[in-house]
Chains A and B, each alone.
Chain A
Amino acid sequence: KNEVEQSPQNLTAQEGEFITINCSYSVGISALHWLQQHPGGGIVSLFMLSSGKKKHGRLIATINIQEKHSSLHITASHPRDSAVYICAVGVSGSRLTFGEGTQLTVNP
């Protein structure tokens, strides 16, 4: 079993829909990261969380440390949000452990 599990693996939505991607992990962590990977490969960091909730534009990330669970929400989704969203956890040191990613497609 992977230490980091994401669901769903694939998600297709219509423009304007509210989207939720989930991440569960099995170990104690120091921080959880949400990353975005567009076609072509480049990965950018969206959020780093150790507690509570963060918001940036239409993106919201929450984490529940007791339940070992995090969610990434996208409000008013747009086709340009189509990408792979990756959850990663930091346990100790500088290494991260990554989930397999969620492929999001937003249709116009």
Chain B
Amino acid sequence: DVKVTQSSRYLVKRTGEKVFLECVQDMDHENMFWYRQDPGLGLRLIYFSYDVKMKEKGDIPEGYSVSREKKERFSLILESASTNQTSMYLCASSSLFPGAGGSGTDTQYFGPGTRLTVL
């Protein structure tokens, strides 16, 4: 079974702090994703990575950065946390090849989520 783990289930930070959210997957997946989930808005893509050291902006990258130094680990960084970044953050991974080269048919496997509160 694919396992995607996230470093914390709950996190409370103060405005202006630098925040690191880490995600690790154990299935040698090429693709990794960071989403935030807010009531009424659904899942929105922040950043994704299709290879080590490769990243692409999603729909809402402002205020976030990412790092992928190893294939299994994808970190989301909030450079200076703000109250509007209070949210549920979900990491996911998927394999490129079973979907015929990333054709949108790849199943994404999700971590348990981190509920971040910025005070």
Contacts and interface: CB of A to CB of B under 8 A. Distances in A.
A45 B107 CA distance: 7
B42 A44 contact: no
B50 A94 contact: yes
B88 A41 contact: yes
B110 A94 contact: no
B45 A41 contact: no
B25 interface: no
Nearest to B95: A94
A41 B104 contact: no
B113 A98 contact: no
B104 A91 contact: yes
Interface residues of B, number: 29
Contact of B104 (A42, A90, A101): A90
Given A41-B90, A41-B115, A94 B102 contact: yes
Interface in B23-39: 31
B102 A93 contact: yes
Contacts of B74: none
B45 A101 contact: no
B43 to A, nearest CB: 4
B108 interface: yes
A56 interface: no
Contacts of A99: 42
B102 A41 contact: no
A31 B117 CA distance: 34
A32 to B, nearest CB: 9
Contacts of B108: 33, 45, 96
Nearest to B114: A41
B55 to A, nearest CB: 13
A41 B112 CA distance: 6
B41 interface: yes
B106 interface: yes
Contacts of B90: 41, 43
10 contacts: A31-B104, A41-B112, A42-B111, A45-B109, A48-B105, A89-B104, A90-B103, A95-B45, A95-B104, A101-B42
